[in-house]
Amino acid sequence: MARITASVYTSHVPAIGAALDHGKAHEPYWQPVFAGYEYSKQWLREHMPDVVFLVYNDHATAFSLELIPTFALGTGAQFPIADEGWGPRPVPSVIGHPELASHIAQSVIQDDFDLTLVNRMEVDHGLTVPLSLMCGQPEAWPFKVIPFAVNVVQYPVPSGRRCFQLGQAIRRAIESYDEPLNVQIWGTGGMSHQLQGPRAGLINAEWDNRFLDRLIEDPAGLSHVPHIEYVREAGSEGIELVMWLIARGAMADVAGGPKPRVAHRFYHVPASNTAVGHLILENAA
Ligand code: DHB
Ligand code: FE
């Protein structure tokens, strides 16, 4: 049986990827950001999964106003790196796990969540920056990745409650897969940031840290926070944080198991226009 052993949460700022790709990670502006992931890279080497189920959002790269899937599951064998305007990032392409992804599609859709299935898709910074933060700059990503793209760009976006319930269905799906795979689920995007309008540059460290506290201690209660609170308190792009509730919903305690262990917590302001938040939660063995 496959098992979800841990969940990882992290922001996905594109400039972080550019800093790494252009050898600027040791500059004074970036050093504190990457320092927050030093422990995480070591932790990942010691807790290497077979597959990462990576919840992220596409930024009008693979999708656009022509096609807006709320929840899109990557069932393909491979996902090329997107060109977001400066050429594709110089990182390895993403290798999928079509067998597990097809099983998840079967299970989650029969469990009443109507997913979109994507066999061909390029992946943008929403997916590649979390990989870079956790893995550094390897020749090939050290595990398979099932991309799961959530629409948090064009209203209406899914509620935190729906995301949390979906995470529970994803857990049921993964844990009914008949092969002993070590699976991690990552929730990415956020924390507070607003890239547009008069409030551009908004950061709310107090709200972000309360979100981290509640994600650990009270995810069910947190899942009832309405969209308007994310946008008011964490800025228009702060809504990306609903994706963290998918990963949190897939942890064992939500299904009556033991509480997860907090392996790592990090918060730093700013990276580009964004507050960087990061958390690693481990399920009991
Ligand atoms: C920034 C953050 C994002 O989440 C994003 O998708 C694009 C830009 C930023 O802080 O610059
Ligand atoms: Fe984003």
Q: What is the per-residue pLDDT across 250-284, written as a single tens digit (0 to 9) for each?
A: 999 999 999 999 999 999 999 999 999 999 999 99
Q: Which of 273, 276, 278 to mutate to test the pocket of ligand 1 (most atoms within 8 A of CB)?
A: 273
125 catalytic per annotation: yes
Q: What is the pLDDT of residues 20-32, one digit of tens each?
A: 999 999 999 999 9
What's this model's pTM, rounded to 2 decimal places?
0.98
Q: Are 205 and 284 in contact (CB under 8 A)?
A: no
Q: What is the pLDDT of residues 167-194, one digit of tens each?
A: 999 999 999 999 999 999 999 999 999 9
Question: Which residue is listed with tokens 């995470």?
Answer: 167
Q: How many angstroms is it from 204 CA to the middle of ligand 1?
A: 15
Residue closest by Cα to atom 5 of ligand 1: 13
Residue closest by Cα to atom 10 of ligand 1: 273
Does the C-beta of 124 come closer than 6 Å to ligand 1? no
The interface predicted TM-score of the complex, written ipTM, equals 0.98
268 catalytic per annotation: no
* Domain limits, the chain: 3-199+209-257
**Residue 74: is it exposed, middle or buried by C-beta count within 10 angstroms (0-12/13-18/19+)?**
buried
Residue closest by Cα to atom 2 of ligand 1: 13
The rounded distance, in Å, linking the Cα atoms of 157 and 196 is 18
DSSP per-residue letters across 33-61: HHHTTHHHHHHHHHT--SEEEEEE---SS
CATH 3.30.470.20 fits 3-199+209-257, yes or no: no
**What is the pLDDT confidence band of residue 157, given thresholds at 50, 70 and 90?**
very high
The mean pLDDT of the chain is 98
Does the C-beta of 168 come closer than 6 Å to ligand 1? no
Does the C-beta of 274 come closer than 6 Å to ligand 1? yes
Residue 285 pLDDT > 90 = no
Q: Tell me the percentage of the chain whose pLDDT exceeds 90.
A: 100
Q: What is the pLDDT of residues 54-72, one digit of tens each?
A: 999 999 999 999 999 999 9
- Say which of 193, 264, 268, 278 is annotated catalytic: 193
Q: Which ligand is closest to the CA of 13, given by its number?
A: 1
